[in-house]
Chains A and B, each alone.
Chain A
Amino acid sequence: EAGVTQFPSHSVIEKGQTVTLRCDPISGHDNLYWYRRVMGKEIKFLLHFVKESKQDESGMPNNRFLAERTGGTYSTLKVQPAELEDSGVYFCASSQAPPGTGEKLFFGSGTQLSVL
């Protein structure tokens, strides 16, 4: 069974440019999450999809970030325009049921984003 796939694995862009990160969850997982770790900080929640609907986007830092999950399959996270403080590792995770039910999350390897 394929795991959670994220690409690109690394992205280096200049301040003001746009970057789109993609996540392919495990097949059949309705729940998809985005988390990120910025330099020197803990991994923080960004948002949670159930199928194509945003269940919780309270962790999104500002309106420069836009997440979509069209058709309830893969998800994209767009940062436009990127700022220096957006640099970090962006993780995607998926699960069949929400973690509060005791279901384990499966994480991708992350996208290392560097904004210069």
Chain B
Amino acid sequence: KQEVTQIPAALSVPEGENLVLNCSFTDSAIYNLQWFRQDPGKGLTSLLLIQSSQREQTSGRLNASLDKSSGRSTLYIAASQPGDSATYLCAVVEYGNKLVFGAGTILRVKS
């Protein structure tokens, strides 16, 4: 059974810092891995999607990497801003097209 773990559970950093969020999964038989952002009371917004054959994806200040063999992914946020404060969720897409989510990392960027 696939399990997804995210570390840390919460993170508080001063504005301008670069930071890394970690995600690990137990079964490497995945189609892809996705990172989402959730703001309080809102839905999930897809940030980056990495196909199982890819190593990384970049969008603006965000960079996500995937090491399928070791079951790990990282989300790197450069030059963090208060507007980046949110819960970040990692999810793997298994054969069968289900997303299996981690519990999330609550990020707070202080101004």
Out of B34, B41, B45, B101, name the residue touching A43 (CB < 8 Å): B101
A-B contact count (CB 8 A): 65
Q: Which of A4, A45, A48 contacts B100 (CB 8 A)?
A: A45
Binds B, one of A11-19, A69-77, A79-87, A96-104: A96-104
Q: Is the CB of A45 within 8 A of B99?
A: yes
Residues of B within 8 A of A105 (CB): 34, 44, 46, 99
Interchain CB contact under 8 A, A100 and B103: no
List the A side residues contacting B76 at CB < 8 Å. none
With A4-B43, A102-B32, A109-B41: A56-B96 Cβ-Cβ less than 8 Å: yes
Q: How large is the interface on A (under 10, 10 to 19, 20 to 34, 35 or more residues)?
A: 20 to 34
Report the Cα distance A45→B4, complex, angstroms: 14
Is A108 among interface residues, defined by CB-CB distance under 8 A? Answer: yes
Inter-chain contacts of B51 with A (CB < 8 A): 102
One digit per residue, 1 when the CB lies within 8 angstroms of any chain A CB and 0 when it does not, for chain B 36-76 equals 10000111111001010000000000000000000000000
Bound: A91/B44 CA distance, A:
9
* Residues of chain A with a CB closer than 8 A to B89's CB: 43
When C-beta atoms are compared, the residue in chain A nearest to B46 turns out to be A104
Extra contacts besides A91-B44, A107-B44 (6): CB < 8 Å: A91-B43, A99-B34, A101-B31, A102-B32, A102-B49, A105-B99
